[in-house]
Amino acid sequence: MEIKKLLEESSRYIMNTYNRAPIDLRKGRGVKVWGSDGKEYLDFVGGVAVNILGHCHPKIVVAIQKQAQRLIHVSNLYHIEPQIKLARLLVEHSFADKVFFCNSGAEANEAAIKLARKYAKEHQGKDKFEIITALNSFHGRTLATLTATGQEKFQKGFEPLMPGFKYVPFNDISALKSLITQNTCAVMLEPIQGEGGVKLPDPDYFKNVRELCNKNNLLLILDEVQTGMGRTGKLFAYEHYNVTPDIMTLAKGLGSGVPIGAMLASDKVASAFVPGSHASTFGGNPLVCTASIATIETLLEDGILLDQCKRMGEYLRKELKNLQKEFPSVIIDVRGKGLLVGMELTRDCSTIVKACMEKGLLLNCTAGNVLRFTPAVIVQEKDIDHMLDILGNVLSSLS
């Protein structure tokens, strides 16, 4: 189908919930994708931090093919071997003791909110239900996770919102302390705010948050939907800060593109969920768990890819900072960890994203004026150099 007709049918049949670029991507390999017209694009969006191993990684493709021939879906009314194996992998490489599987980051965060409330009510009293989150956070688009998200622009039109959430500035321990009341049951934070503009905490922030939670008998929930699965150079971002959460959520890179989310918790907290407490029809089915197992095993193999993520992240930030020196009137800041990198601009970055796309580079704009770079961990210096050439040319033409 020609692109013009395809776009017309997209407009006619699909709800208008995205500002979609006028291209149709048909094929992907590694860090490149191709449109229906054959045009090649260098992909530094990666499905918005999803394609952690790049497009169509051979190990993921083979794992999916083999499992699809054997068994695609079976109900959670029965035991599922790939699900058990995946849960064991996650537990063995994290703080957690138990895992609940679902289909997305929003669902994982929804499960975390429910678990935190149920645990608090059972162990601390019926008035324990409030959760403190951060301004400029993003936790999902279900009604509960939308309310947890500290950005009014996402909440507008969906009022009344769910009660029981309070917001504090990210990276402000004093503000967090001031909002704790007898009703507070948990604190829910992203280790790095992704949708909020790739904002990093001070080195001791999460240590102080953990101590505050311990002192006030609160649960610490870390939303690692975007930062988890090797994105920051470690399997989970909390490892950078030497803290242990009570609950952690994952999705995005967990399955290399198949829809899977997970909520992990310690035994103590997980015990609040019993049969009937929570469920997900598709959560953790054989197909998605097999893809996720292949993803984790590939990421952890000899530590090569996690080390590469660190090195390429350092190289990317260094070269973007060189670009900042060249365009000081346009670029305010470059920040990030591993291959979650943001470049803050003095202007809205949507025109830059469009211009780069026309030149064969896919970038993402978040928080209005922050270019977000989330390429696959298999990215090479030559790919980063190619990206910089295109971005530099675009910035030259706009300045």
pLDDT tens per residue across span 197-250: 999 999 999 999 999 999 999 999 999 999 999 999 999 999 999 999 999 999
pLDDT of res. 398 = 82
pLDDT of res. 320 = 98
Q: How far apart are CA 115 and CA 188, in angstroms?
A: 12
CATH fold for the domain made of 59-302: Aspartate Aminotransferase; domain 2 (3.40.640)
How does strand 130-134 pair with strand 98-102?
A: unpaired
10 Å CB burial of residue 388 (0-12, 13-18, 19+) is: middle
pLDDT of res. 399 = 65
pLDDT, tens digit, 9 for 90 and up, residues 353-396: 999 999 999 999 999 999 999 999 999 999 999 999 999 999 99
Indicate whether 125 pLDDT > 80: yes
Q: How far apart are CA 299 and CA 66, in angstroms?
A: 20
Q: Which of 199, 252, 310, 337 is catalytic?
A: 252
Indicate whether 302 pLDDT > 90: no
Q: How far apart are CA 302 and CA 237, in angstroms?
A: 19
CA proximity to 290, closest of 59, 20, 57: 59
The structure tokens listed for 81 are 């071997």
In the DSSP assignment, the letter for residue 260 is -
Q: Is 223 a catalytic residue?
A: yes
Indicate whether 269 pLDDT > 90: yes
Categorize the per-residue pLDDT at 196 as very low, low, confident or very high, splitting at 50, 70 and 90: very high
Instruction: For residues 279-283, give the mean pLDDT.
Output: 98
40 forms beta bridges with 34
The structure tokens listed for 124 are 């601390």
In the DSSP assignment, the letter for residue 157 is T
Q: What is the pTM of this model?
A: 0.97
% of the chain surpassing 90 pLDDT: 98
Alpha-carbon distances, residue 223 vs 149, 261, 309, 333 (angstroms): 11, 11, 20, 24
pLDDT of res. 2 = 87
pLDDT of res. 30 = 98
Categorize the per-residue pLDDT at 186 as very low, low, confident or very high, splitting at 50, 70 and 90: very high
Instruction: For residues 63-70, give the mean pLDDT.
Output: 98
State the chain's mean pLDDT as an integer.
Answer: 97
Indicate whether 299 pLDDT > 80: yes
> 238 in helix, strand or coil?
helix
Q: Is 348 a catalytic residue?
A: no
pLDDT, tens digit, 9 for 90 and up, residues 314-355: 999 999 999 999 999 999 999 999 999 999 999 999 999 999
The structure tokens listed for 221 are 């929930």
Q: How far apart are CA 204 and CA 26, in angstroms?
A: 45
| Structural domain boundaries in the chain | 3-57+303-398, 59-302
Q: Is 252 a catalytic residue?
A: yes
Q: Which of 101, 128, 223, 273 is catalytic?
A: 223
CATH fold for the domain made of 3-57+303-398: Aspartate Aminotransferase, domain 1 (3.90.1150)
Q: Which of 101, 129, 138, 236 is catalytic?
A: 138
CA proximity to 106, closest of 148, 142, 134: 142
Instruction: For residues 149-161, give the mean pLDDT.
Output: 96
Indicate whether 1 pLDDT > 90: no
- Alpha helix segments (H runs only) across the chain: 3-13, 46-49, 58-70, 81-92, 105-124, 143-148, 152-155, 173-179, 205-215, 267-270, 286-300, 304-326, 350-358, 381-398
